[in-house]
Amino acid sequence: MQIAQFTLPNQLFVAPMAGVTDRPFRQLCRRFGAGYAVSEMVTSRKDLWKSLKTSRRANHEGEPGPIAVQIAGVDPQEMADAARYNIDRGAQIIDINMGCPAKKVCNKWAGSALMQNQPLAMQIIEAVVQACAPQQVPVTLKMRTGWAADQRNAPQLARQAEQAGIAMLTVHGRTREQGYKGAAEYETIAEIKAGLGIPVVANGDIDSPEKAAAVLAQTGADALMVGRAAMGRPWLFREIAHYLATGEPLAPPRVAEVREALLQHLQDHHALHGEFSGVRSARKHIGWYLAGLPGAVEFRQQINQVEDAQLQSELVDGYFRTLEQSHDYLPDIQPGVDLTAENWRQAA
């Protein structure tokens, strides 16, 4: 898999997700087999560049390259300046956000709202590409299929973006109107891929190795981007890679491996965000790891009251060590389902 001058180890990408894909999460997914990870969305507003939130999102210390930073905004010059700012701080690839469906982003006409204003979208693309060219930094674009079902303009915008110099395109198979509801559709992604010469990445509802293989076959995409399904399940990348290579499912991870991964994740998370913010923002990650495991509801209630980083890690360690006493592997269950201990033993 190639993005301009960068050769990636595989075709499995981590989607940029605000509040989720910080540096510790990206590194964890890379360790479990993701070949590429894009940072959380960084604003193009200069007055926010020095904020703690933005500085944490722009932290790439110890992260393997290529370093990809996603920027969002509505003003072409601001977006160009944001690209230069992040390049000066280590970005090797700049990704333009035209896919975020969040109201607080779209209400300012950023993210996927830009797909309603194709001339402005192209002005932004051209300005960012021009800003990055002197540094030989490729520019990629992430977008949706359109604003609404009757406004699927992604194929047209994709062709114009390629002509403007975009090096790779990622398409989430939903309109902004859908948000994350309903099922992603891949026909539009297949149409886009058929009409472009640059790499195209398929995104949306890729939550299992079997689904990953089906999406690749249906779209002809060059790569896959996994988002929500990797939350609390970073080993999904390893499972997908194994299935694509062999056609066989991979055994689930050992409980001990999950415990060690989560404890390392918490350590890195606390170090980046500090104890006060880190303990609180780690709660959602812990909840995702626990989804479907015995006693998860009760344990989440307990862990959500903890405000000390060391105690948070100790409780997580104890929870998984208890599971290790009777089970080597995690069960193959649907996330989001809390099982009784007996049902969990049967699933395992």
pLDDT of residue 347: 36
pLDDT of residue 175: 87
User: Does residue 233 carry a pLDDT above 80?
Assistant: yes
User: Does residue 294 carry a pLDDT above 90?
Assistant: no
Average pLDDT over all residues of the chain: 88
Alpha-carbon radius of gyration of the chain: 20
User: Does residue 61 carry a pLDDT above 60?
Assistant: yes
Burial label for 50, CB within 10 Å (0-12, 13-18, 19+), is exposed
pLDDT of residue 126: 97
Q: Rounded distance, CA 94 to CA 129, Å?
A: 9
pLDDT of residue 337: 43
Among the listed residues 91, 170, 76, 90, the one whose alpha carbon sits nearest the alpha carbon of residue 130:
76
Which is more confidently placed, 175 or 309?
A: 309
Among the listed residues 85, 166, 89, 90, the one whose alpha carbon sits nearest the alpha carbon of residue 133:
166
User: Does residue 287 carry a pLDDT above 80?
Assistant: yes
Among the listed residues 66, 59, 57, 56, the one whose alpha carbon sits nearest the alpha carbon of residue 36:
66
Ranges 119-123, 275-279, 332-336, 340-344: which has the least confidence: 340-344
Domain architecture of the chain: domains with CATH? 2-246 (3.20.20.70), 255-347 (no CATH)
How confident is the model over 115-139, as pLDDT tens digits? 888 899 999 999 999 999 999 999 9
Predicted structure pTM score: 0.88
How confident is the model over 261-278, as pLDDT tens digits? 999 999 999 999 999 999
User: How large a percentage of the chain has pLDDT more than 70?
Assistant: 87
The pLDDT confidence band at residue 259, using thresholds 50, 70 and 90, is very high
Residue 128 structure tokens:
């960012």
* 100 classed as catalytic: yes
pLDDT of residue 263: 97
| Half-sphere exposure in the Cβ direction for 247 (13 Å, CA) | 0
- What letter represents residue 234's amino acid? P
User: Does residue 340 carry a pLDDT above 50?
Assistant: no
Ranges 60-64, 226-230, 258-262: which has the least confidence: 60-64
User: Does residue 58 carry a pLDDT above 90?
Assistant: no
Ranges 12-21, 141-150, 241-250, 252-261: which has the least confidence: 141-150
**Catalytic option among 29, 100, 106, 132:** 100
Among the listed residues 237, 222, 212, 165, the one whose alpha carbon sits nearest the alpha carbon of residue 192:
222
How confident is the model over 161-206, as pLDDT tens digits? 999 999 999 999 998 878 888 889 999 999 999 999 999 999 999 9
* HEC-encoded secondary structure of the chain: CEECCEECCCCEEECCCCCCCCHHHHHHHHHCCCCEEEEEEEECCHHHCCCHHHHHHCCCCCCCCCCEEEEECCCHHHHHHHHHHHHHCCCCEEEEEECCCCHHHHCCCCHHHHHHCHHHHHHHHHHHHHHHHHHCCCEEEEEEEECCCCCCCHHHHHHHHHHHCCCEEEEEEEECCCCCCCCCCCHHHHHHHHHCCCCEEEECCCCCHHHHHHHHHHHCCCEEEECHHHCCCCCHHHHHHHHHHHCCCCCCCEHHHHHHHHHHHHHHHHHHHHHHHHHHHHHHHHHHHHCCCCCHHHHHHHHCCCCCHHHHHHHHHHHHHHHHCCCCECCCCCCCCCCCHHHHHHHC
The pLDDT confidence band at residue 44, using thresholds 50, 70 and 90, is confident
